[in-house]
Structure 1
Amino acid sequence: MIGMLFSRGAAGVPAPGPVDFATLALPSSPNTCLLTPTTSPGAGHLHRDPFPVTPDKAEAAIRAVAAAMPRTFPLADFPDRRQAQWVARTRLMNYPDIVVAEVAPAGGGTGLWLYSRSLIGHSDLGANRARVMEWLAAFEALLRRS
Structure 2
Amino acid sequence: MIRLLLSRGAQGVPAPEPVDFATLVLPTSPNTCLLTPATAPGAGHLHRDPFPVSPEEALAAIRAVAASMPRTFPLAEFPARRQVQWVARTRLMNYPDIVVAEVAPAGAGTGLWLYSRSLIGWSDLGANRARVTAWLAAFEERIRRR
TM-score using structure 1 length = 0.99
Q: Deviations over 1:73-108 (max 9, x none)?
A: 000100110000000000000000000000000122
Which residue of structure 1 aligns with residue 116 of structure 2?
Answer: 116
Where structure 1 has 5 or more consecutive residues not aligned to the other structure, the ranges are none
Alignment correspondent of 1:49: 49
- 1:49-88 map, 5 Å: 49-88=49-88
| 1:12-51 equivalences in 2 (<5 Å) | 12-51=12-51
2:8 paired with 1:8: yes
Structure 2: gaps (5+ residues): none
Rounded to whole Å, the distance in 1 between the matches of 2:142 and 2:122 is 33
CA distance in 2, matches of 1:133, 1:105: 22
* One-letter amino acid matched to 2:29: S
Which residue of structure 2 aligns with residue 90 of structure 1? Answer: 90
Alignment partners' CA distance in 1, 2:102 and 2:15: 16
**How many residue pairs align between the two structures?**
146
Q: Post-superposition, which runs of at least 4 consecutive aligned residues in structure 1 deviate over 4 A?
A: none
**AA paired with 1:80?**
A
Counterpart CA distance in 1 for 2:107 and 2:57 is: 16
- Give the match for residue 125 of structure 2: 125
Q: Shift of residue 15 of structure 1?
A: 2.1
- The TM-score with structure 2 as length reference comes to 0.99
Deviations along 1:19-62, one digit per CA (max 9) or x if unpaired, are 00000000000000000000000000000000000000000000
1:11 deviation in Å? 0.3
- CA–CA distance in 2 between the matches of 1:30 and 1:21? 18
Q: Counterpart of 2:72 in structure 1: which amino acid?
A: T
Alignment root-mean-square deviation, CA: 0.5
Amino acid of the residue matched to residue 3 of structure 2? G
Counterpart code for 1:63: R
